[in-house]
Amino acid sequence: MADAVVEFLLENLKQLLLYHVELISGVKEQVESLHRELSLMNAFLRDSKEKRSQYEVVREIVRQIRDVAYETEDIIDTFVATAALQRSRNRLSRFVHAFDYKSVARQIESIKVRIKDIYDAKKFGIEILKGGGSSTKRLPHKRVPVVEEDNVVGFDEEAKTVVNRLTTGSEQLEVISVVGMGGLGKTTLAKKIYTDRSIEYHFFIRAWVYVSQDYSRKEVFLALLGSLKQLKDEMHKMSDEHLADMLHEYLSTGKYLIVIDDVWKIETWDDLKVAFPNRNCGSRILLTSRNTDVAIHANPVNLPHPLRFLTTDESWELLQKKVFGKGSCPSELGDLGNQISLKCGGLPLAIVVVAGLLSKKDKTRDWWKKVADKVSTYVARDPKQCLDVLALSYHHLPDHLKICFIYFGVFPEDSAIPVWKLLRLWVAEGFIQQTGQECLEDVAEEYLEDLVERNLILVAEKRTNGRLKSCRIHDMLRDLCLREAKEEKFLKVIERNFQDAPMGPINDRRLCIHSHVLDYIRSKPSNAHVRSFLCFAIEEVELPRANTSFIHEAFKLVRVLDVRSIYLYRFPSDIVQLFHLRYVAIYGNFKVLPESISKLWNLQTLIVETTERELDIEVDIWKMSQFRHLHTSGSSRLHGPPAKTRKQYADPFVRRNMQTISTISPDSCTENILARTPNLKKLGIRGKLLTLMEEKGGSSMFDNFAQLGSLETLKLLNDAFPLSPFQANLKRLPQSYKFPPNLKKLTFSDTLLDWKNMSIIGMLPYLEILKLKEKAFMGPHWEPLDGGFGLLRVLQIGRTDLVQWDASSHHFPRLERVVLKHCENLRSVPYGLGGVSALKMLELYWPTLSAADSARLIQQQQHSMMNDGFKLLVYPPGR
């Protein structure tokens, strides 16, 4: 973690020296000197990565570097915030509050002394890196997985599926992989398959080898040869190339099955595959891994088999078998046993560990109740049995993913985490460093996908375009996050009653409150070290007016502030003194966002949920060079830059970061505003859309959209309150060339457009997703024109009076998913859609009986086309 802390600090110092040198004019030389010293430390951190697990002295040096980096960050951030406040004062106030630069210089010199002390210790560390200091060396321990051969539950169908893949198909050599997170039972499943009678009959030559993270190519080949024949003494003296040739020759004699268990790296498979001949006799490799990328690399054609979690019933069955053997659970313990097994989240390893705890003591209701209340706590008490197994995946991560993974500890147990929010938080926290011109959020999304591929993070929901919409983390892995976060002073989570938590200052850099928020606020906290304050309390609380300034008083250096679960009666004006803020999420009775927020020039993301229908945004976002995302509820009114300063805002550096504006009023879509957001990706508009569409002098405000070349998502929500949508419906749409040129996703709601306008939408060249929500299009008949919707993959139609929809496969050649919700007059789904070869999903919610019947005909047609992946969902069932 020290690596990420120092990297982030170096980047901050670099930004200060390059762009805000006026704030550090009194101590510029000292800051430059600090940057040089920390750069050297950073080099040591990079060089020491491979040695940290072996030498305690190296780990201690790394901890000292982390602590001094934190202390340096505190000094610099405090200085910069004070200097910024000083510059904002008038001349008289500056004189009264004269700034003591000498004091800051002394603090920096003190830090440099600390760094020198670390240097003295580091010399010994460098000797170790060069090969010395063997007396302190700790040999790595190779963990062999525990294989459950008795009382195996839930693997019968899984085993049949994999056995079938191993014994059928091509005569070519194939790799069949099983993937899943640690503790799911990949090794146990592989052993069950390996000893299956049909496998023993099918593969006369069989061998098994366990690889793990730290492996020796020579040892792997020796282990495989040892499974196949008697090893001779001279074999241990042979090179790995010679042993590979010997293994290759032996396996060439017949059909073989090799199990390669627990492969971590792509390079491992590339190292070993030379020993496995392809004799076109149906030989197979069974590979297990926690990393899906490894499996796909080994066989890019056939997808790996993802090992699932146990169901609720299977979890309870396994717990009973491990605790009671062939006996039965007493009735008085049944409800508690179910609770315990449920809280293990379907992870067999956790169930086995808990079962061991339950077996050690008398089986009383009091004891089981204690375990049921704190299952994860009891599992964590014996880390070698569970958390250390899971930690192997964490320690294998590169540094940039470690810090992202630990961050999942801030979210409550079992919560579905919105991906858009997670990515913005990662960027604001500084976890994603700028390299070249890459969009930070795109890089963050790649990091998340990498964690998913490594089976550390679970997919909760996907978007219609296939990208991640929400994710979650298994409770046991979350406990691992919290354990590592505590060790690194990274995060403090208060999950239950605040009275049980320590009342003193918090040294962790992040503080997250999950309950009893007001208790914490009333304690008048003061935590100078905290850089992120996140409040994810389930219960929504109203903040007393007397406590509205607690944020500024408690967290003067905060960067991330998420208090969405706290209702604020008025906008916290003191927030503008939090100079370092990058991310803000607030909720309350707001009518206006004041211009003073413009002072927060570090701000990247602003999320404001208000109980008001409209929000006037007086903030001059155009001079905030880091600003990226504006999320607001209701209809928000934006203002363009003042006329006297518009030339200043024409600088592309000022406007290049703006990516999201949601949701603004139609009258905000002026040329003056949209011309300053050339890189905007998402735009939501809510209000009276006639204002946007009506032409005056041969043009309309909608014409301004054509210049949004980067816009991919556009939402048009017609809200004419207090009028009904029928009193302010749209007559027609602008021509397709007036839409943003690269639009991929388009949403309409309450627009009441005639279906004839669909010909315009169909001409949008890159449109992939079209969502027609409540009363978006109305009329009894829709007949698409030829030549449109060439790339459309997802079509959703909400409540409408549509009766007849005529369509053929050539109207939607690439359609993959159709969703029909409350189309209560629609007689049938077009039979022609059954001929779309790309179709994967058809969903009908509250359809007519005839529409449901027509959907089943399409299902039959898809199956006749051998599209076994097609799915039909009709709700409610029985329609």
- Rounded mean pLDDT of 379-398? 83
Kindly report, residue by residue over 793-840, the tens digit of the pLDDT: 999 999 999 999 999 999 999 999 999 999 999 999 999 999 999 999
Nearest by Cα to 709 from 752, 675, 741 = 741
pLDDT recorded at residue 94: 47
Separation between Cα atoms, residue 447 and residue 573, nearest integer Å? 36
Torsion of Cα atoms, 76 then 82 then 83 then 85, to 10°: 150
Domains defined along the chain, listed by start:
2-136 (no CATH), 156-306 (3.40.50.300), 312-385 (no CATH), 397-487 (1.10.10)
Distance of CA 108 to the CA centre of its chain: 37
Separation between Cα atoms, residue 532 and residue 201, nearest integer Å? 60
Q: Output the pTM of the full model.
A: 0.88
pLDDT recorded at residue 138: 41
Kindly report, residue by residue over 61-99, the tens digit of the pLDDT: 888 888 888 888 888 888 888 877 777 655 544 444 455
pLDDT recorded at residue 137: 42
677 DSSP assignment: -
Query: Could you tell me if 356 and 388 are in contact, meaning their C-beta atoms sit under 8 angstroms apart?
Result: no
Host H or E run for residue 188: helix 186-194
HEC string for 295-314: HHHHCCCCCCEECCCCCHHH
Host H or E run for residue 248: helix 240-251
Separation between Cα atoms, residue 15 and residue 714, nearest integer Å? 34
Distance of CA 444 to the CA centre of its chain: 8
141 DSSP assignment: P
Query: Could you tell me if 375 and 344 are in contact, meaning their C-beta atoms sit under 8 angstroms apart?
Result: yes
Nearest by Cα to 721 from 635, 789, 637, 850 = 635
pLDDT recorded at residue 767: 97
Asked if pLDDT for residue 702 goes beyond 60, the answer is yes
Asked if pLDDT for residue 26 goes beyond 90, the answer is no
Separation between Cα atoms, residue 771 and residue 829, nearest integer Å? 17
3-state secondary structure of 9: helix
Query: Could you tell me if 248 and 228 are in contact, meaning their C-beta atoms sit under 8 angstroms apart?
Result: no
* 436 HSE (CA, 13 A, CB side): 3
Residue 417 amino acid letter: I
Asked if pLDDT for residue 395 goes beyond 90, the answer is no
381 φ/ψ sector (left φ>0, alpha ψ -120 to 50, else beta):
alpha
The pair of structure tokens assigned to 203 is: 């593969």
Query: Could you tell me if 655 and 678 are in contact, meaning their C-beta atoms sit under 8 angstroms apart?
Result: yes
Asked if pLDDT for residue 136 goes beyond 50, the answer is no
pLDDT recorded at residue 188: 92
- Rounded mean pLDDT of 580-606? 92
What are the strands, taking DSSP E only, across 383-488?
Answer: 417-418, 458-462, 468-472
Query: Could you tell me if 826 and 848 are in contact, meaning their C-beta atoms sit under 8 angstroms apart?
Result: yes
pLDDT recorded at residue 97: 46
Query: Could you tell me if 689 and 753 are in contact, meaning their C-beta atoms sit under 8 angstroms apart?
Result: no
**pLDDT confidence of 654, banded at 50, 70, 90?**
very low
656 DSSP assignment: T
Kindly report, residue by residue over 761-774, the tens digit of the pLDDT: 999 999 999 999 99
Residue whose token pair is 């191993």:
166
Average pLDDT over the chain reads 86
Separation between Cα atoms, residue 651 and residue 676, nearest integer Å? 9
Query: Could you tell me if 826 and 820 are in contact, meaning their C-beta atoms sit under 8 angstroms apart?
Result: yes
Query: Could you tell me if 680 and 711 are in contact, meaning their C-beta atoms sit under 8 angstroms apart?
Result: yes
CA distances from residue 777 to 280, 646, 686, 736 in whole angstroms, order as listed: 58, 40, 17, 17
DSSP track, 309-350: PPPHHHHHHHHHHHHHTTS---GGGHHHHHHHHHHTTT-HHH
Lowest-confidence pick of 127-131, 186-190, 482-486 = 127-131
Asked if pLDDT for residue 641 goes beyond 90, the answer is no
Asked if pLDDT for residue 497 goes beyond 80, the answer is no
Burial class (CB in 10 A: 0-12, 13-18, 19+), 266: middle
Distance of CA 28 to the CA centre of its chain: 38
Asked if pLDDT for residue 133 goes beyond 50, the answer is no
Lowest-confidence pick of 200-214, 515-529, 574-588, 699-713 = 515-529
**pLDDT confidence of 410, banded at 50, 70, 90?**
very high
558 DSSP assignment: -
Q: Which has more confidence, 875 or 3? A: 875
pLDDT recorded at residue 93: 47
Separation between Cα atoms, residue 238 and residue 557, nearest integer Å? 61
Query: Could you tell me if 592 and 614 are in contact, meaning their C-beta atoms sit under 8 angstroms apart?
Result: no
Task: Output the CA angle 180-182-185, nearest 5 degrees.
Answer: 70
Neighbours of 731 (CB within 10 A): 11
Separation between Cα atoms, residue 669 and residue 673, nearest integer Å? 6
Kindly report, residue by residue over 322-362, the tens digit of the pLDDT: 999 888 899 999 999 999 999 999 999 999 989 988 888 88
Lowest-confidence pick of 48-62, 209-223, 503-517 = 48-62
pLDDT recorded at residue 224: 94
Query: Could you tell me if 578 and 555 are in contact, meaning their C-beta atoms sit under 8 angstroms apart?
Result: yes
- Rounded mean pLDDT of 639-664? 68
Nearest by Cα to 111 from 76, 161, 155 = 76
Query: Could you tell me if 508 and 555 are in contact, meaning their C-beta atoms sit under 8 angstroms apart?
Result: no
Kindly report, residue by residue over 269-285, the tens digit of the pLDDT: 999 999 999 999 999 99
Query: Could you tell me if 165 and 132 are in contact, meaning their C-beta atoms sit under 8 angstroms apart?
Result: no
Q: Which has more confidence, 104 or 503? A: 104
Query: Could you tell me if 675 and 648 are in contact, meaning their C-beta atoms sit under 8 angstroms apart?
Result: no
Top mean pLDDT of 78-92, 227-241, 354-368, 440-454 is at 440-454
Separation between Cα atoms, residue 736 and residue 755, nearest integer Å? 15
282 φ/ψ sector (left φ>0, alpha ψ -120 to 50, else beta):
left
Q: Which has more confidence, 64 or 126? A: 64
- Rounded mean pLDDT of 549-568? 88
* 380 HSE (CA, 13 A, CB side): 14
**pLDDT confidence of 14, banded at 50, 70, 90?**
confident
Neighbours of 337 (CB within 10 A): 24
Q: Give the percent of the chain with pLDDT over 70.
A: 91
pLDDT recorded at residue 150: 55
Determine the angle formed by the axes of helices 334-343 and 348-360, rounding to 10 degrees: 140
Separation between Cα atoms, residue 836 and residue 858, nearest integer Å? 10
